[in-house]
Amino acid sequence: MKTLTVEHITRIEGHLNFTVIVDKEANVKARAEALEGVRLLERLLIGKSYREVPDIVSRMCGVCQAIHRITSIQALEDAFGITLPEELEKLRKIIAIGGHLQSHVLHLFIFVLPDFTGHKNILGMLPKHGELISRAFRLKKLANDITEAIGGRAIHPITPVVGGFSKIPSRRTLEIALDKAREFRKIAEEVIPVVLSLEMPDFKRKTHYVTLYNGKEFPLLRGSVKISQRNIFKPSEYEDYIEYITEEYSTARHYILKKERLEYMVGALSRININYDFLTDTAKSMAKTYGLKYPAYSPFENNKAQALEIIHFAEEVVDLIEDLLHRPAKTEKVEFSVKEGEGVSVTEAPRGLLIHHYKVNEQGRIEKANIITPTAQNYKNIEADLAAYTTKLLLSNVENIEFELRKLVRAYDPCISCSARFFKEH
């Protein structure tokens, strides 16, 4: 039996090791070992007022904070039976898009590109690719500026609250945000081809793909949940379709499909595999130009799926701001009553499907909380891909197997901090 343990994978969010085990019959198994420290998370929410919850959960991560806040708020609004006017929904979507754009840019240009240019990190890329890196940082700054304009802060936005917003942007603020969104779109269309033209490793493995779906648009904050081309279920039914399992080697929960007892994938590739028809024309044109066809079955293609999403969301955020300038929000918040209830929100975080589920008492305090993050759902699929890819690499006599496996893990853009929990089952 041979064992390969790769520790402290760089250029991802959080601390993750993985171990690959090859037995005497050349069968391969892999383990994704999340090694984050104490994460109380849901337990911290019990007894807290609904007003406190969005601020607390956004601190789960410094990268995915915007979508955690919005998803939390939507779950609480579901519990209270709150429906927002379209204009407030659009403002929230702009914040969510800003979070996706900055996260995707960070992943693709700062974390992924060094793997394909022969460098350990972006510092090594600077002499030859300095202009590209500079433009990538400009994109990240612009995405943060868009989030700040609507959300009050670029990191951990504060204006989205249960029932709407604590403050909505002025017309002048929206006009400045529109200029930044247009600049982002222009630069993105110029630099994204660098990612789309990369030659990805020759590896495919079909799995189940899970994403939001509503049959009308590329979904982000609203919709049902779709498993590949088959099952569609309501957000409130998620416990009937996915379940967690614990592994002694990981501080994070791992998830599988409940009925099939199999792993599944969430994220940009899953979104585009199922919702490709709803991408903007520019994004679809770029996919065609670079020979991309969907559904695609290589986890490495998650990188290019993120690149296409940057193009899609860059166009959508311009349209959203233009719509709000034409028809601005008439109110900051809607009236609602605090009452006993249970609410679920399923959204698309940058790394995939995100679920927040709360039970609230009549005083508006949390009695039950469950948060399921994208990376936690991806662990079993990462393990299956690592095992299959290792088998392929061994058969091909590839020398630097460890480098290739690190590259595969990075393609998932994992966020370990969000996924970890502090528990031990006996």
User: For the residues 101-113, what does the mean pLDDT come to?
Assistant: 97
Each domain of the chain, given as residue ranges in start order, spans 2-419
User: For the residues 273-292, what does the mean pLDDT come to?
Assistant: 98
- Residue 7: predicted pLDDT: 87
Q: What is the pLDDT of residues 355-378, one digit of tens each?
A: 999 999 999 999 999 999 999 999
Give the separation between CA 380 and CA 31, rounded to whole angstroms. 8
Q: What is the pLDDT of residues 401-422, one digit of tens each?
A: 999 999 999 999 999 888 876 5
Q: Per mean pLDDT, which of 16-30, 47-61, 69-83, 408-422 is the most reliable?
A: 69-83
Residue 37: pLDDT band with limits 50, 70, 90: low
Give the separation between CA 351 and CA 103, rounded to whole angstroms. 9
* CA nearest neighbour of 386 among 2, 20, 3: 20
Q: How far apart are the first and last CA of the chain?
A: 28
How does DSSP classify residue 262? B
CA geometry: angle 410, 411, 416, nearest 5 deg:
50
Phi and psi, residue 5, nearest 5°: -110, 125
Count Cβ atoms within 10 A of the Cβ of residue 231 and give its class: 0-12 exposed, 13-18 middle, 19 or more buried.
Answer: middle
Task: Say what percent of the chain tops pLDDT 90.
Answer: 85
- Residue 423: predicted pLDDT: 47
Distances (CA, A) of 388 to 21, 103, 400: 12, 28, 16
- Residue 271: predicted pLDDT: 98
Q: What is the pLDDT of residues 151-192, one digit of tens each?
A: 999 999 999 999 999 999 999 999 999 999 999 999 999 999
Domain 2-419 carries which CATH code? 1.10.645.10
Residue 426: pLDDT band with limits 50, 70, 90: very low
Residue 40 has pLDDT above 80, yes or no: no
Residue 102 amino acid letter: Q
Residue 144 has pLDDT above 50, yes or no: yes
Residue 75 has pLDDT above 70, yes or no: yes
Helix residue ranges, H only, 244-352: 268-275, 281-289, 301-326
Count Cβ atoms within 10 A of the Cβ of residue 113 and give its class: 0-12 exposed, 13-18 middle, 19 or more buried.
Answer: buried
How does DSSP classify residue 117? H
Residue 141 has pLDDT above 90, yes or no: yes
Give the separation between CA 157 and CA 142, rounded to whole angstroms. 15
Mean pLDDT over the full length of the chain: 94
